[in-house]
Structure formats: C-alpha cells, structure tokens
Amino acid sequence: MRYLPLTQEERKEMLQSLGVDKIDDLFTSIPQQMRLNTDLDLPEPLAEAELVRHFSELASKNNDLKSSVSFLGAGSYDHLIPSAIKHLVGRGEFLTAYTPYQPEITQGVLQSIFEYQTLICELTGMEASNASMYDGASALAEAALMACAATRRELVVLPASLHPEWRDVVRLYLESQNVSIAYLPYDEATGVVDAKAMEDISWSEAACVVVQQPNFFGLLENVGVFKKVAEESGALLVMAVDPISLSLLKSPGELGADIVVGDGQSLGNAMGFGGPSLGFFATTGTKLIRRMPGRVVGETVDTDGTTGFVLTLQTREQHIRREKATSNICSNQALNALMAAIYLSLMGKEGFKDVGYQCLQKANYMKQRLLEIDGLSSPFSAPSFREFVIEGDVDWEEVNMRLAEHGFVGGLPLERFGQPGRVLFSVTEARTKDEIDSYVNLLRGLIS
C-alpha cells in the first residue's frame, strides 16, 4: 500500500460526501473542555536529507556488531549470516506475505514453510514440525501446556539449569492455567542435573520433564537421566535445544524426546537487539501431533494430481474449533523461519557441522586461555559447547565497561541471576583467534 497525501480538493470532496464542512466537525461528539486546543509539542518537519542525517546520528549511538567484537550469548548469538539470506527474504513475495491468512492462494509461501518444517524435522529427528512460533521461550511454555493436555496431569518439572528468562516465560504461561512447577536442582560441582536430583519429585503427577541442551551455563546435560524418569513415570520428555548444537550432538529424536523446542535465532537471523526471532516446535506420534500448537503446512495433490501445499490439521487451531484449540497462537514467524530455512540450505550438512565444530573448538580454546589468568577458575566440570562460565573475584560489569572502550562486548555477568563473580562467555564461529587472544590479553592486564 502506498502513502498518498490527500489534496485539498480531495478532502473537500470527502467532507462533502459526509455532509460536514470541516474536519473538526467529525469530532463534535468530544466535549469542548476535553479537547487539546493547542498544537502538539513536536519539532518542525524535516526534509528527507535532514531526516536521514538526524536518524544516522541517533543510530551511531548504538553499539552494534559492526563496531564491536562480542562474547555475549545467553540466548542470542553472533553467528555468521550468509548475505544471500537478506537478498532472498527481501523479495516482495516473501516480505509482504506475512502469515498465510488466505493460505492456499499463496503456494510459494506455503512451500517455503513446508521446506522449513522438513528441515526442522531433519535437524531434531522428530516426525512433525509446526510452521514456527514467536521464540524459544514461548515455544517451551506451549510445549509444557501441550504435555499437560496430552497426559492430563498438572505438574511441569523444570531444571534449575534452564535459562532463567525462559523459566519466567514458562511460569507466566502456566500460572494462569493452574499448572504447578517443580524444579530439579543442578549439581553445584558439575553444573548439570544428575539422577540424585530426580528423587524429590512426585513423578506420577508430572506431565513432562524439561531438559535444556546445552543448559543456561553452556553445559551438556545427561539427557539419559531425564529420559529414564520420563519413561518410568509416563511424563513426556521435552527438550529445549540449541539448533547449532544439533550439528554435533545426537538428535532429540534419537534420545527419545516427545517434544522438541528451541530458539531459531542462531539459524541465519540477526541478533537485532533481542529480536524478532522464531521458536521451533516439533513432535512425534499421531496423538501428539494433533495436540501440537500452531500452524502446520502439508503437501498434497490437487484433483489433477499436481503437487500442492495446504494448511493441514487446522482443527487444532482456534479459528475452527475455538473451544477445543490446542493453543491461542494463530500466527507464525514466517519470515524468520524462512531465514532459518535458507540458512540451513546454504550451509548444507557439511557446512552446518563445521559451524558447530568451530564453536566447540573456539569456545574451548578461549576457556583454556582465560583459565591461564591467575585468579580465574571454571566453577563447573561438565563439558561445554559454545558457552562457558568463568569465576573470579572480579567486578565483571566494570570489566565490560572498560573493555568496551577497546571495542569488546564481554560476557554476561551472572550476578543478576544470583551468581556473583561469575560470567557467561559465548564464542561462535564468527570469532577469530586474534579476537580471542586480544580480549584475553586485555583482560589479563586489567585484573592481574
């Protein structure tokens, strides 16, 4: 839609057809004393060139990834994004289509979603994926609700090693639905949940047990421990996974997950100061698939036998059987999901594996280098993937401020999550050895 200013002539014509003389006459129902009788306190309009200059000045105050080297992760990651993605998703057919409300007429959009779902299924080892959700945290909350509906139980078991902000989102979704939450403590020495943590839960009431892989501290959980209690108690196993880690780890399908969710930002989506992102959601089995929230695109044939795409299993959705809907989500993050699909296609099986391998190698290289600094230690012994926690008698907020002057965005200080002296670093394939070495040397100079 274009923005076309009205001419005086057009305005007059419109007012005439409404039977009023001037625009103010349209607001006579608002009492005089309630009206603002002065102009709004706004600056004068700017010409295009002035406007561009003004906003460029404002934008230059942002510290972005073009001007900084970032070791910040904790849910949003600085992975390399092939520039082809921007050009492909920028096509009008994709950019303007949004979620398919008149779906079958937009076969191209449906096909792109179908391809996305196929890639998510291959990545997770599950049978069916939906068309995507808002983000990883809300996808996890929906998974918990789905588990409650499928098992008719009202207890959700979360690990204390789950991202604390994801935990808050899940709690927000569940508290209004009379679902209780129980927490599995993690072992202070390893940083992951072990079999001992499973003892104090009333498993017969549990709808699901959640495991985040890798967990908030970047550590690899022993999924078998979670699978065992799920199997024994009839609770569903919900895995919240980082998609990049699936390039190296066994798929959740192989590990016996019932529902798999995660945040897809890592897959070709910019960090964008925190969003927008996409959540992926996949499950397995005819019964669970029918309880899956969100839209699903299916492949079919028309009356002539030609392949086509449709929204399928729509009776789970609120616009068909509102009272029976599995969720109130009736949208998806189509463009972000498309970026994820293009990313996975461009990387290919080998390239994607290489991303995971480089994350693992570079993160562990940096961890070793940091541990060479006197006074720094690693509080957790479990193996880590792309993120790791470092501990020391250091004011990490202060360190971050000082190193920002050198163009570095440091790790996330965990003090706000009740762990003073600890910091969470993230190292992706986008970091170079030089960047890591420079950061470590600057940090050594600052705290030694």
CB 280 → another protein: shortest distance, Å? 24
The strand pair at 155-159 and 128-129 is best described as: unpaired
| Closer residue to another protein, CB minimum distance, 11 or 324 | 324
Identity of residue 62: N
Integer Cα distance of 322 and 320 in angstroms: 6
Q: Which is nearer to another protein, 130 or 333 (CB)?
A: 130
Helix (H, G, I), strand (E, B) or coil at 260: strand
Question: How far is Cα 210 from Cα 257, in angstroms, rounded to an integer?
Answer: 10
Rounded distance, CA 431 to CA 318, Å?
44
Which CB sits closer to another protein, 315 or 368?
Answer: 315
C-alpha to C-alpha distance for 411 and 436, rounded to whole angstroms = 12
Q: What does the CA dihedral 436, 442, 447, 448 come to, rounded to 10 degrees?
A: 100
Q: How far is the CB of 324 from another protein (least distance, A)?
A: 7
Would you mind telling me the total number of residues written for the chain in this entry?
448
Please give the full DSSP string across 243-310, using - where no structure is assigned: GGGGGTSPPTTTTT-SEEEEE-TTTT---GGG----EEEEE-SHHHHTT--S--EEEEE-TTS-EEEE
- What are the structure tokens assigned to 200, written together? 């104090």
Which residues 6+ apart lie within 8 Å of 350 measured at CB?
Answer: none
* Nearest distance from C-beta of residue 153 to another protein, angstroms: 11
Inter-axis angle of helices 433-447 and 334-371, nearest 10: 50
Q: Which is closer to another protein, CB of 54 or CB of 324?
A: 324
Least distance to another protein, CB of residue 320, Å? 8
Q: Choose between 316 and 386: whose C-beta lies nearer to another protein.
A: 316
CB of 325 to another protein, least distance (A): 12
CB of 315 to another protein, least distance (A): 4
Q: Which residue has the tokens 């839209």?
A: 295
Q: How far is the CB of 387 from another protein (least distance, A)?
A: 41
Nearer to another protein, 66 or 287 (CB): 287
* 281/354 Cα distance (integer angstroms): 24
When the beta carbons of 86 and 321 are compared against another protein, the nearer one is: 321
Specify whether the CB–CB gap between 131 and 294 falls below 8 A. yes
Q: How many CB atoms lie within 10 A of CB 7?
A: 9
**In 3-state terms, what secondary structure has residue 147?**
helix
Question: Environment class of residue 167 by beta-carbon count within 10 Å: exposed (0-12), middle (13-18) or buried (19+)?
Answer: buried
Residues of the shown chain interacting with another protein in the complex, contacts defined by CB under 8 A? 152, 286-287, 290, 315, 320-321, 324
| Residue 283 CB, nearest approach to another protein (Å) | 15
β-bridge pairing 69-70 and 155-159: unpaired
CB of 300 to another protein, least distance (A): 11
The smaller minimum CB distance to another protein, of residues 71 and 203, is found at: 203
- Whether 359 and 253 have beta carbons less than 8 Å apart is answered as no
153/227 with CB nearer another protein: 153
What is the SS3 assignment for 70?
strand
Between residues 167 and 316, which has the closer beta carbon with respect to another protein? 316
Minimum distance from residue 215 beta carbon to another protein (Å): 33
Closest alpha carbon to 332 in 142, 76, 173 = 142
Start-to-end C-alpha separation, the chain: 60
To the nearest whole angstrom, how small is the minimum distance from the Cβ of residue 152 to another protein? Answer: 6
Dist. CA 84–CA 435, nearest whole Å: 26
> In this complex, which beta carbon is closest to another protein, that of residue 321 or of residue 416?
321
